[in-house]
Each structure stands twice: as structure tokens, then as C-alpha cells.
Structure 1
Amino acid sequence: MLRFLLTGGFSSVFVAWFFLVVIRLPLLIHGLPMIQPELNWLLIGERLHRGFMIYTETWDSLSPLSAGVYALIDILFGRSQLAYHIIAMFLVMIQSAYFSMFLQRHELYNDRTHLPALLYCLCGTLFYDFYTLSPVLLGLTFLLIGLNALFTQLDRDDVDDEVFGIGFYLSMATLFYIPFGWFIIFAFVALLLLSAVRLRKFLLLAFGFTLPIAILLLSFYLVNEYDAIYFNWIAVFWQRYSVIYTDFKTFLIILQPLGILLVLAASQLIGGNTRFINYQIRCQQAMFMWLLAAGVSLFFADDFAPYIFLVFVPPVAFFGTYYFSMVRKAWLGELVFWLMLLYIGFNNVGKFYFPLSATLWNDTALIVKKNPEHYNFRQKRLLVIGQGLDEYKDNIPATPYLTWRLARRHFENLDSYTTIIDVYNNFLQDPPEVIVDKHNIVPTLFKRLPALGKEYSKGTDPNVYFRKSPVKAAVH
């Protein structure tokens, strides 16, 4: 099997896609639990579809191009988790084929192999939260295009026409997922150490990277909303605030195949009988720098969940192919491959089809929970003051305060006259029918804004407030 994949033509890409579908299809049929970040993306897409702009009228740190994609999906499919999963599966297929083809075109392996496509598909299916259409997966598309441009540049040191494209594609990846902005350092160091040094080259790289971001910032500045994008997107990146959804043990169990394959590849490349030309060695060094940049990006992730490790899939597939193509004992390579495949399969179906093994993964905080029974409201325009999105699953978000770590800037500063005016205007623009107060902030809010307090009354739960009179749906 492995021999066929190592020497097969483009047909082996279809084999890679077959494995991807076979692993994912049972869980798609079974139905996957919704995860907290996924619900957040669905809510943002829905809110943007209703006409509320990101950052100004929807407070969240999601990157703008990802928000645009989620809005488009909501227009086409509504609040559909299945749409996210199906689109994500096709995107992994496209990425794996593109990745494998440009590696083959650059002749980075001794054999013309499409094994990277298979390893990409397998490593891109490590856990069920890899299945969704995350900003990491969306941004990874442009990282791969930038990597292809970087390899082309390393092959043609005397020409700088690809350098602008490298910066541009990395900038587009950043506009999908802001921690990917650190990859500009990866590109800068790679060009500095692995190609001819020319000032024009680095100016082109910097210009290509800053142009799309500058256009975005300028557009917000021209409509006098620069503060909104600064506080909700740029400043959050530097604050390094992450919501941790799983413990270290769970991460270790899920990510073992990636780590083991990297170690095996390193042992083969360092200790084996390698015969690579200078260009191949430089590309290997560039992929090692990708690993370092990916590691740095993890520290700036908003949500620390397994899916953020998708950024390691390309280098693992890249180096893993060297291991399987260079291992001297063919049976050992076959054994490692099938063990990896079985482990990934169990990592996916074990939690849902083998209840006893489900205790291996501590993902309780990752999964969206059902509303408590005493919260007898559904399809209501809702504001949650506090951490967590569970209550929004069966309701519609109201006011810009979707993300608590950003909303705190207002709700924990109610002694400020300017803040009170802003809060009041946000309530007038998009009034909630129900308020769930997890931090006992509403009494202070209504004390500062008695006119607003008259519109609401307490429910049977002391932390829940209901609007006395119905409101029309707020759509721009």
C-alpha cells in the first residue's frame, strides 16, 4: 500500500481523499457536538448577515476575512453546523492536492510521490474539532500559497518577482487568522538566511504584507471607526488572552501522531544516508522555520483548542514523507503508517462509538452545553453578561457584546459617563428580549440607566431579566 502511494501518480491523491472521507463520514452521519468556538463563528456570521458590522456593532476578535466567509455561509445555509463541516472537508481536499502538487513540481523528493497529500489528509483529521471550518483552516490556504511562492524564490535567487506575493499571501492569511501574522518573520528569516540578500527583496516583502492590512485599517479610519478595530482585533492580539478548552493530557493524546512522525522524520534525515541537492536542503530548512513560526503563533491564539494545531499539518506531512520514502525496512514503514492510521481513526470514532474510551479526552469545556431547563426561553434576542456562549445556541445574540472579554470594557466601567451613553445607545440599536447576568452587573446598569431598567423585570431566576414589551427584530 505504502509503495503504491510513494510511486503512484495523481490517482494516489484520490486515495488520500478516500481515506479522508472514510474517517470523517461516520462522524458526520453520527452528528458531532457543537464546540464553543464554532458556535461563536455561527453567531457572528448570523449577526453580520443581519447587517451588524464586525468590530463596530459586533464585538469579537475574529479576523475580518473569516467573518466575511461566515456571513456568506449564513446567507447561503443559515446557522448550519453541517455546512461548516462539509465545506471544511472539501477545503482540506483542495489544500492537500495543492500542497502535494507544488512539492512535486519543486522536486523536493527523490520519487515523484503524492504521499504528502495522504499525510495531509490524515493529520488534518486528528480530532473532531479539526472537522469544522475554523479561521486556522481558512488562513492555512494562503499560507500554503505563500510557501509555494517562497520555494519558487529559493529556487531563483536572481529574481525577486515572487517576493511581493509571499508578503501579500501571508497578509491575507493574517486577515483570516491574526496569529498567522508571525509568519512574516518566518518569511523574512528564510529569505535572509537561505537566499541572496538584497534590500529590494525585503522592501517588496514588507510592502506585500502591509498593503492589504493597511487598506483594511484605512477603510475603518475613513468611517471614523478605527478605535473599534483597534480594541477588538489588534489590541487583543497583543494581550495574549486565551480561553483554554482542553487540558494538557488531552492535547498530548490527540497530537501524538504529529510528534511521533516528526521525531521519526528527524531521525531519518539526521542519521540516515541522505543525498539532497542544495535547493532541497534549503526548502527543508524553510519548513523547519515554519515549525518555529507555528509554535510562536500558538501563544497568540484566542481559543486554545486542538484545532489550532492544524498549522502544523503541512510541515508534518512534508517531513513525514521523507521518513516513509527513506526508511530502509519497507515493513517498518508499512507498520508505522498503519499504526498511525489506526490511531487517528480511534482518535476520531473512539469518543462517540466506544463510551469507555471517551474518558481519555477531557473536552467538557470545549462542547456547547444545553440550556438549563429553567431557562425556558428559546429563539429570543439574548444578551449574556459573562463568559460562555451556551445560552446563545437556541437564541439570537443582541447588542454588540458577544464576547465577554471585550464587553468587560463597558460593563466593568459603568461609572464612566461616556461608557453609560455608549451602552444605552447599543441597547437602543439592538435591544435584547432576555438578559442573562452572570456577574450581577445588571442592578448597577439599571441604577445608572433607570429608563432602561423600567423596560425589564426579573424572572423566576434572579439572574435573568425579561423585557416587558416586545421589540421588533433589529436589522440594518
Structure 2
Amino acid sequence: MLAGERLAEGYHMYKDVVDDTGPLSSGTYWIIHLIFGKSLTAFRILAALVILFQVTYINSLFIRYKSFEENTYIPAAIMVVLFHLSYDFLTLSPALMGSTFILLALGQLFSQTVLQKEGSDSVLLVGVFGGIAACFHFPLVVFLPFLVVSGIIVSGFTFNQFVLALVGYILPIILCGLYYFWIDALPEFIFEYFLATRIIEVYQHVRLEDTIFLFALPVSLAFIGYFVGLWFKQITVNQQKQRQLIFIFLLFAIGSVFLTNRRTPYQWIILLPALTYFINQIFIYLTQKKVLQVFVFVFFLGVPLVGYSWYIFQNSSGRLDSYSVVYQEKHQIANGKKILVLGDDIAYYKEASLGTSYLNSKLSNRILKDFDDFADMAAVYQEFFSEKPDIIFDQEGVFAGLIERVPLLGDLYKKESPGIYLLR
């Protein structure tokens, strides 16, 4: 929301907004702010539409290419339940938007696998969709080797098709780079988006143990579904290729999580198509009614129950406070003002707007703490002097260090209380 609001004011991502949100994601948030303003309801409705598209697309994909002998809507029902595993699956995150284009690329690979097309259109689209996904959410860049491996091993790409898919993949990234080169922000784009995700400190919003608890049940069911498909059903050659494709997809989806700098459940949203495929095999191939009824209850009741109980436990233990934006009475001091928060408590922005380009505090620290670079210090002073945020919330002592190094900032701001500076 803050990135979209800042861009709607006429600023540019990376050049005037220090953050690592993907260029296409930030562009989407910019359009949303232009149309709906700072509306959480709009985010939820749009997220629901994206989820509806994904659910419909994956189900139609399995029907169109006869992934299973029976054409049913069970995969759609399974994926809807999986989306309710965690509440942050239902928000319009870059991971959700990027995974949509990974699904579209997967659909083009399915067409190559099943129909053995020789046309170049679907091969090109495989790369283009993958490149667009990487421009929405950086960790999805890991699907470049997935497209290569699955395209060559499973879909049987020729060398020319491989090159065409690679060109299609690079094209969206090159176009984004060309735009930021045009506005003189290419170095910032390269560092903040492509490099910062592995350089800056990782945000540990959710512990690894909590994530394992959350995904233990659906992953176990997917594991069971995989072996059910192996033992209880003879499948066609095309279906075997699709299974191989989904299995490779699952491996790379897990790998993408290790490129994230925010440890949150929504980063795992890319696993849902593969989990849907394997869990569906339980309900399609098992014929024993009593056993099937057990799995129906375990999945359709167990998965939402796990997600809900996880949320209750996180909230009651206070762990949710490190992840959610908790708006309290103390944050009302910022209402209606332009502010800057140098720290993790960004609830001050709920009824306020961003006063400078330093949105991501950890990324901003590389500039604000670079006291040996006089050019950086001059640029920092110039930005504070031109934008003059009404209040600065210095939660990590960064601004206090700036005032010592740049005394002119002390003439602009007075210390109201520990960690709070007001514009004179």
C-alpha cells in the first residue's frame, strides 16, 4: 500500500522508494491506489479474484490435458481448501501474483508434453510467463532452471526451442531494466531487487517450526497421494510425463523459498498447485469407501482447522505481533501526517503517508549509516530538506547518528521524546 501510494504521488520505484518489492508488483499496487486509494477491502477483493482464476485454471488444465481419467471439480475444491491453510494466502502478495504466471507457464509446458506441439508460440510463452513471474516476485527466478530442466527432459525441447524460451524469459526483465535505465535508476533496480534479497537481514516473521506445523498435514497427504498414484493406477505415457513435470515443479517450488528474505507462510503459496495434483490422486484413485471417507474428513476439515488453530496459537502467544501490523493508541500521533519510520513498527503508517523514499528500513540503513560516503550524506540531507516529513520515528537510533554526522538535520528537527523527532 505504501509503495503504491508513493508511486501514485509521481515518484519512481527504487529511485524514490527504497524497497525490494518487484517492479510489476509495485506497478500493480500503484494502479490499485490510483483507483481505490488506501483500501484494504480492494486488496482482499482483488486477491479473491486472482485466487479464483488460479483455482479455475488449474482445474481446467487437468481436464483439458486429461491428467486424470475422470473429469471432476475435485482439484478445484482441494485448491480452495489449501488456500485457507493460512490467512496470508488470501492477501494480494507479490508471491500470489507471481505464482499466477508460473501457473500459466506450467500450462504451456503441459501443452508441449501432451500434444507434442511443434509450434513456437507455446514455447515462447513458457519463457515470457516465467520472466513476468520473476518481475513480480524475485524468488520465482528459481523457475528459470525449472523451465529448462522440464522443457528438455519432459517436454523434449530442441535447442532452438530452448533458446526461444530463454529469450522469452529474459524479455520482461530486459524491458523492466530498460525502463529504469531510462529514468536513471538502473543501479538501484539491480541492487534493491536482484541483490538485496540475499544481502539484507532476513525478516523472521514466522519461525521454521511454525511453518512445519502449518504444512505438515497437506504435505503428508500429498506424499500419500503420490504413492497412491504409483500403486493403485496404471497411467498413460502423457499422464506419466505430467506427473514428472509436477514433481520437478514441486522441487523447484521448495527451492524458491530459500531465496526469500521474509520468512512468512505466503512465500510457500507456490507449492499449492503441486500439492493439489498429488492430493487429488487420493480422491480419484482410492476405491475403498471407508478409507476414502477418512481422507475426506482429514483433508476438508483438518486443513482449515490447522490453519485456524495456528492463527489462534500465534495470536495468543504474541508471536503474531512480529508479523501483523498492530495499530494501537500510541500510533495515532501520526494520523494525517507525512512520516518516516526507521524500524519495524510500521503501524504508524496506517493513517499516515510515507515522507521520504526510505520505505524499507533495512535496505535504507545501507544509505543512512554510510557516514564515510559524503555523496550519500549530501543526498540524504537534500531529501530530508526537500520532503520534510512531519515526524520521524527513530526506533533503531539511525536518525540520532545522522544528526551527529549532519548537524544541519538538527536544525530541522527537535527531539520530542526518545525515538521521536518533530519538524521544527
In the superposition, relative to structure 1, how do residues 108 and 45 fare at CA in structure 2: closer, same or farther (>3 Å)? same
Write the deviation string for residues 94-143 of structure 1: whole angstroms up to 9, x where unpaired.
21111101210001101112211111111111111111111111111111
What TM-score, normalized to structure 1? Answer: 0.84
Name which of 392, 402, 417 aligns with 1:435. 392
* Contact kept? 2:2, 2:354, Cα under 8 Å: yes
* Contact kept? 1:240, 1:300, Cα under 8 Å: no
- 1:83-162 correspondence to structure 2 within 5 Å: 83-157=42-116, 159-161=118-120, 162=122
What TM-score, normalized to structure 2? Answer: 0.94
Aligned to 1:34: none
Paired residue type of 1:277: T
- 1:196-211 correspondence to structure 2 within 5 Å: 196-211=156-171
- 1:22-101 correspondence to structure 2 within 5 Å: 42-101=1-60
More helix, by proportion: 2
Aligned to 1:334: 293
Write the deviation string for residues 21-64 of structure 1: whole angstroms up to 9, x where unpaired.
xxxxxxxxxxxxxxxxxxxxx11111111222111000100001
CA distance, structure 2, for counterparts of residue 106 and residue 240 of structure 1: 43
- 1:318-357 correspondence to structure 2 within 5 Å: 318-350=277-309
1:436, CA displacement in angstroms?
A: 1.2
- 1:65-464 correspondence to structure 2 within 5 Å: 65-157=24-116, 159-161=118-120, 162-239=122-199, 241-270=201-230, 272-350=231-309, 359=316, 362-371=319-328, 373=330, 376-459=333-416, 461-464=417-420
* Contact kept? 2:198, 2:261, Cα under 8 Å: no
Paired residue type of 1:377: A
- 1:465-476 correspondence to structure 2 within 5 Å: 465-468=421-424
- Consecutive unaligned residues of structure 1, counting only runs of 5 or more, are 1-41, 469-476
- Give secondary structure in 2 for the equivalent of 1:87: helix
1:68, CA displacement in angstroms?
A: 1.2
Q: What's the Cα RMSD here?
A: 2.1
CA distance, structure 2, for counterparts of residue 374 and residue 257 of structure 1: 39
- Consecutive unaligned residues of structure 2, counting only runs of 5 or more, are none
Paired residue type of 1:379: G
CA distance, structure 1, for counterparts of residue 345 and residue 69 of structure 2: 51
CA distance, structure 1, for counterparts of residue 270 and residue 353 of structure 2: 32
CA distance, structure 2, for counterparts of residue 431 and residue 82 of structure 1: 31
- Higher deviation after alignment, 81-90 or 294-303: 81-90
In the superposition, relative to structure 1, how do residues 357 and 289 fare at CA in structure 2: closer, same or farther (>3 Å)? closer
Paired residue type of 2:222: L
1:234, CA displacement in angstroms?
A: 1.3
CA distance, structure 2, for counterparts of residue 442 and residue 240 of structure 1: 19
In the superposition, relative to structure 1, how do residues 439 and 234 fare at CA in structure 2: closer, same or farther (>3 Å)? same
CA distance, structure 1, for counterparts of residue 377 and residue 241 of structure 2: 57
- Give secondary structure in 1 for the equivalent of 2:24: helix
CA distance, structure 1, for counterparts of residue 251 and residue 225 of structure 2: 16
* Contact kept? 1:149, 1:166, Cα under 8 Å: yes
CA distance, structure 2, for counterparts of residue 440 and residue 134 of structure 1: 30
